Amino acid sequence: MEIKITRTTSPKEKPADETKLSFGKIFTDHMFLMNYDEGEGWHDPRIVPYGSLPMDPASMCLHYGQAVFEGLKAYLTADGHVQLFRPDQNMARLNVSNDRLCIPKIDEKFGVKAIETLVEVDKEWIPKSYGTSLYIRPFIFAADPMLGVHPAKHLIFAIICSPVGAYYAAGLAPVKIYVEQNYVRAVTGGTGFTKAAANYAISLKAQEVSEKQGYEQVLWLDGIHRKYIEEVGSMNVFFVIDGEVVTPSLERRSILSGITRKSCLEVLKAKGYKTSERDIKIDELVKAYDKGKLNEAFGTGTAAVISPIGELKYGDKVMTINNGEIGPVSRMLYDTITGIQWGVIKDDFGWTVRID
């Protein structure tokens, strides 16, 4: 399929100060759109000037939340090239989400081509300083104008882009995390393993409660036993316990298979660290902490890459990890992965895709 490109005749002003970019507030000049209609399949891929989409108030996504998304970044490397980080993984995961939400699958290679074409069109929007990037948001939503509950027959696949600043403008600052005991995010058999928009809608309440207590994000426990650790907000979670790097396994299908998570495991294995993907009980963590064996904790995700956890609150217990400072494993992973993304470390893994 050919992507038809219509360039804007009135380009927007680009942000003057790259150090002041906050997450996802301004968007580039163009967007990608493609439609699905039953009988026709996905068709009419196009890049058009960024703008509002006409929407029927009965559009199914607005009522029943049949919508999925992805998130990845384009980076301007030290030597002036544009590259993406494992975009094939994002498109593969989009189809995993699609399948669970009864959304027709997309051609993954074509999805990557759509991302590359859009980034190429808007490449002047990629911020230039180290640590900054162009955040890319592919998403699909149901557009049928009717209120019956059934899988949509008409959908829209869109991609928008937003220049984002360095996540840690003031260095890698550890976050404070609240272990949630009342609300749950996902259960086996649900949609926890997908990037369904609805997963976020149901997480907002707990996020609000944690913020009121001075914590930045929520650490979710499993929805059934309320004792196994799942993930943090929009990040997977890792712990260094007695020298071993552990992260919850994906077997329960209630947590997202993060691409940063996967990349961290691959870096750790390549460098000879002891790693394990397994069940981690919150009690195990507390015991390790009490024995002084909880060496590090960190979240992983596209936005922050590595987010060191300086404090964990579980009930009345407040655990300060590694004196609230970033630990050596977190630091190594951050330096290695961001180094590959911004092209200052050779990519021996073959993860980066150069698009110019």
Ligand X SMILES: *Cc1c(COP(=O)(O)O)cnc(C)c1O
Which stretches of the chain bind ligand X, using CB under 6 A?
71, 195, 231, 234-236, 256, 258-261, 300-302
Q: In the complex, what is the shortest distance from the CB of residue 184 to ligand X, in angstroms, rounded to a whole number?
A: 13
| Max CA distance (Å), the chain | 64
Q: Which is nearer to ligand X, 66 or 203 (CB)?
A: 203
Q: Give the sign of the dihedral formed by CA 284, CA 286, CA 291, CA 293.
A: positive
Tell me how far, at minimum, the Cβ of 90 lies from ligand X, in Å.
7
- C-alpha 214 chain-centroid distance: 23
With beta carbons less than 8 A apart as the criterion, state whether 54 and 35 touch: no
Q: What is the distance between the alpha carbons of residues 356 and 99, in angstroms, rounded to a whole number?
A: 33
Residue that is written with structure tokens 């050779």 in the block:
346
Residue whose CB is less far from ligand X, 231 or 311: 231
Q: How far is the CB of 96 from ligand X (least distance, A)?
A: 12
Question: Is the C-alpha dihedral spanning 138, 143, 148, 153 positive or negative?
Answer: negative
Question: Rounded to the nearest 5 degrees, what angle is found at the Cα of 224, between the Cα atoms of 94 and 310?
Answer: 75
Q: Is 15 or 71 the residue whose CB approaches ligand X more closely?
A: 71
Q: Which is nearer to ligand X, 184 or 288 (CB)?
A: 184
Question: What is the rounded CA–CA span in Å between residue 324 and residue 44?
Answer: 51
Q: Give the other-Cβ count within 10 Å of 101's Cβ.
A: 22
Residue 132 vs 254, nearer CB to ligand X: 254
Nearest distance from C-beta of residue 287 to ligand X, angstroms:
26
Q: Map tokens 């399929």 to a residue.
A: 1
Cβ of residue 94: shortest distance to ligand X, in angstroms? 11
The H or E element spanning position 210 is: helix 204-212
The token pair at 238 is 């890792």
- Complex with ligand X: residue 59 or 199, whichever CB lies closer: 199
